[in-house]
Amino acid sequence: MILSMTGYGKSVVESGNFSIEAEIKSLNSRYFELSIRLPRSIAYREFEIREKIKKRISRGKVFFSINMNSDSSQLSKIQLNKDGLKDALTVLKEIKKQTKSREKISLERILSLKELFLKNEENGVEDNFEDIEKALNLAIDEFEKMKRQEGKELEKDLRKRLALIKDAVTEIENKNPQSINAYFEKLKLKAGELTADLLDNPDRLNMELALLSEKYDVTEECVRLRSHLKLFEDAIDNSDEPGRKLNFISQEINREANTINSKSVASEISHLGIHIKEELEKIREQIQNIE
């Protein structure tokens, strides 16, 4: 199944007096990169959360965040730690003394150290990590749903362009014998003008010209190109992580298209080879969006 590398998911889970909001989004990236933003009260759970995300996402630049909001009616439950408040004042006074500042210690300055004397309203939610996991999984479910939807559109576009390339290969295969024969006759005429001594031995002349013209036969390249196209379709249908595999196969397709263009002695085949490369370039752009 094709999955887009870009996606977005969001969930909200109620947990006691708190609502846990999880949000995840991703951008294209060659590798897996993960950035996480968590409330201070569950920061120690980052590694655990990171591992859970890695099990479900394999590629892309991923951003994940959790916000926790408390019921305003429960704010009266915030507890003041008087000893902690004294510690905060001691720290501020010492800073003032060391810096020889004459600035008064404001309430704003004191609140900047609130972790020392206020029990954060988020405290306690970390004890119910199951709800945090639930919010995480629901957000990723929505995230994957969007990636699957975009992946279907990507797959449609890839298959359409593969069909165009196949048509071009068929035309090349049909035109190839004619172009080789025409080139052979052209060489024969030119050789007849330049090598009068070989005209007395037409069999040898024809053999030499046939060998020369065979160098421009693209039959083998077309066979290999069709094989690569089949591998490409199989990767779309069956690969667990098709992005990297499709990128490699597209490089092989490009190599065969280059060889066909370099060997072509007919403008019609050259034009078809260019058409293949144009469609392939569009395919390679789309592959960058696939996980």
Partners of 118 in beta bridges: 80
Structure tokens at 111: 């609140």
How confident is the model at residue 140, as a pLDDT? Answer: 94
**Tokens 């989004």 identify what position?**
25
| Alpha carbon distance 126, 105 (integer Å) | 33
| Alpha carbon distance 284, 274 (integer Å) | 15
Please tell me the number of Cα atoms within 13 Å of 55 on its side-chain side: 9
Residue 150: what are its φ and ψ, rounded to 5°? -65, -35
Give the amino acid at 211.
L
Residue 266: what are its φ and ψ, rounded to 5°? -125, 135
214 closest CA partner among 177, 189, 188, 186: 177
105 closest CA partner among 85, 120, 121: 85
Q: List the domain boundaries for the chain.
A: 7-72+124-148, 80-116, 151-287
pLDDT less than 70: residues of the chain: 71-78, 118-127, 183-184, 187-188, 190-216, 265
Q: By the 8 A CB rule, do 281 and 161 touch?
A: no
Angle, to 10 degrees, between the axis of helix 242-263 and the axis of helix 267-287?
Answer: 160
Structure tokens at 38: 């968590």
pTM score, two decimals?
0.59
Q: Is 257 exposed, middle or buried (0-12, 13-18, 19+ CB in 10 A)?
A: buried
How confident is the model at residue 75, as a pLDDT? Answer: 45
Q: By the 8 A CB rule, do 89 and 116 touch?
A: no
User: What is the SS3 assignment for 59?
Assistant: coil
Q: By the 8 A CB rule, do 47 and 54 touch?
A: no
Per-residue buried b or exposed e for 83-103, using 16+ beta carbons within 10 Å of the residue's own CB: ebbeebbeebeeeeeeeeeee
Q: Which CATH class is domain 7-72+124-148?
A: alpha beta
How confident is the model at residue 176, as a pLDDT? Answer: 78
Q: By the 8 A CB rule, do 135 and 66 touch?
A: yes
